[in-house]
Amino acid sequence: MIHVHGRETSSNVQPVMWLCAELGLDVERYDVGGAFGGTDTPEFLAMNPMGKIPVLQDGDLTMFESQAILRYLASEYGRDAIWPSEARARAVQDQWMEWAKQNVAAEFNYKVFWQLVRTPASERDGALVRSGIEAVHRLMPVADARIAQNGWLGGETISLADFTFGVQLYRYYTVEFERPETPNIDAYYARLQERAPYRDHAMISYDSLRVPGA
């Protein structure tokens, strides 16, 4: 049994839970973080001194950092297609996985989503939102072209790159702001929604995160 500590509304917990479900793993998730609290206890800090979610426990292994958790789970339990064991086959998928985290998540989630949903309008940093939206208009066409060419972000099959990128899309398509035209990402998002693990773990309402006046 795998244990995941972290609330289901966290965009860092969601790809871990989505991957566990795709891999058919037996997993128990605990509500920690946000309004649930529990990240500043000595027990939690012993698992993650950063006091952040997710934390994964698998037998005698305890670890944090969602991207590292994804790589561990896919290496330990995944089929080769999700995370090839051969370094050369894995390299480009890994590159797009990091690209999605360092660019799309950083720009969209932390600048656009946080400001529009988790920050009261009176405290909103308009310049930050504008820079996030500008970045999104540069980044999403890059992903759109990549998906048009290959079918998936990492390559011709689903890979961890799609977990890191795909998990952002529910918020991306439901928060109100002007999005670039990306027909291939639109179709890719529709395909992701055909997967029950995606619907169950990546399409989680963020109403409980919305602050009054946002």
Ligand X SMILES: N[C@@H](CCC(=O)N[C@@H](CS)C(=O)NCC(=O)O)C(=O)O
Residues in contact with ligand X by the rule CB under 6 A: 10-12, 33-34, 39, 52-54, 65-67
* Element of type H or E holding 2: strand 2-5
CB of 182 to ligand X, least distance (A): 24
Cα–Cα distance between 144 and 140 in angstroms, integer?
Answer: 6
Looking at the DSSP assignment, which residues form a beta bridge with residue 56?
4, 63
CB of 141 to ligand X, least distance (A): 25
Q: Which is nearer to ligand X, 57 or 184 (CB)?
A: 57
**Closest residue to bound ligand X by CB:** 33
Q: Which is nearer to ligand X, 67 or 182 (CB)?
A: 67
CB of 108 to ligand X, least distance (A): 13
CB of 83 to ligand X, least distance (A): 17
Give the angle 169-209-64 at the CA atoms, nearest 5°.
Answer: 70
Q: Which is nearer to ligand X, 189 or 206 (CB)?
A: 206
Contact 140, 186 (CB under 8 A): no
Q: Is 214 helix (H, G, I), strand (E, B) or coil?
A: coil
Q: Which is nearer to ligand X, 6 or 78 (CB)?
A: 6
Residue closest to 67 by CA, chosen among 112, 32, 99 = 99
